[in-house]
Amino acid sequence: MEITNDIGQIFKPLLRQFCETTKVIEIDEDFSTVFLPHTMTNYDKANKKIFYFGRDTYGWTPTSQLMEAHSNDNHLSYLEETSKWANEFGFLDYNKNKSSGFWTLAMRLHLRLKGFTENLRISDNLPEEYYEHINDFGWGNTNAIEVPKSLENQGIWETLDKDKYWAVKEQSKPLDKLIHTIKAYKPDLVFIFNWDCDEKAFLEGLNYQEQKFDLINNHFLSYHLPETNTRVIWTVHPTAARWLGYGTDSIIDEIIDYLNAVVA
């Protein structure tokens, strides 16, 4: 992932501010620190630039790595280093074709948008010929810092200093905004898979037109950002979709049908 001037001008001040306001909190240096949006190697070459957002990322980079970059006044090295995991397709091994996994939904959708209809396993045994087709997207989270539920699932929450956690989480809120991704990466199409997110807070600073549709059991919002001609589609995470009676493929079917109707 190439760190352009636009990316640097947006994320470096945010990282510096976060580090300055949280270093005095002295949370455990191994605590999973902020996740920033990333892009794959061929993102800038894509005919349509697409971003996929989930809730948060389990077990991201330790706080010590970000603070080292901060002490060296080299904040962008943190963004560059943490982009390698996705750029080296680490998400395929991580996902292991989870039926309701974020990566299963995002990558099957990405391939469907390119005309591939095969029901592929999104794991490290994905046929090699598909790799070039999943090397041109961006991904992010609505939460830069992991939410308590994720930390509970990892067995971390019980022993975590809650006061320090909430203090760090509060300072990460300026990062929880879609506007940074819009300015830095200029996507044409954004998918957000997290119905629990406060959409007004996440879209703060953006001029948008909102529409709600009776799709995916009335869990489907569409936004148009006229200043950049970006379309944002907001729906449920695939894990939550199971409780609505939807599997990954049925979510994709409704999204594709909607997009085809919009284009038509």
Look at residue 33 in the predicted model and tell me its pLDDT. 95
Percentage of the chain beyond pLDDT 70 is 99
Query: pLDDT tens digits, residue range 34-60?
Result: 999 999 999 999 999 999 999 998 889
For 213-235, write each residue's pLDDT tens digit. 999 999 999 999 999 999 999 99
* Tally of residues, the chain: 264
Instruction: Return the domain boundaries, the chain.
Output: 5-263
Confidence at residue 28, expressed as pLDDT on a 0 to 100 scale:
93
The sign one gets for the Cα dihedral 85, 53, 185, 33 is negative
Q: Specify the pLDDT at position 168.
A: 97
Determine the pLDDT at residue 2: 76
Strand duo 50-54 + 189-193: pairing: parallel
**Tens digits of per-residue pLDDT, 138-184?**
999 999 999 999 999 999 999 999 999 999 999 999 999 999 999 99
Q: What is the pLDDT of residue 264?
A: 52
Residue 77 has pLDDT above 90, yes or no: yes
Please give the pLDDT value at position 100.
Answer: 81
Summarize pLDDT for 88-115 with one digit per residue, the tens. Answer: 999 899 888 888 889 999 999 999 999 9
- Per-residue HEC secondary structure of 88-112 comes to CCHHHHHHCCCCCCHHHHHHHHHHH
pLDDT of residue 174: 97
pTM for this predicted structure: 0.95
Tokens 């970000």 belong to residue: 66
Predicted confidence at residue 5, as pLDDT, reads 83
Calpha distance 191→48 (Å, rounded)? 13
Residue 178, H or E segment: helix 178-185
Q: Closest Cα partner for 85 from 49, 18, 50, 36?
A: 36
Dihedral angle of Cα 33, 49, 205, 201, to the nearest 10 degrees: -50
CA–CA dist 138, 42 (Å, integer): 10
- pLDDT above 90 (res 1): no
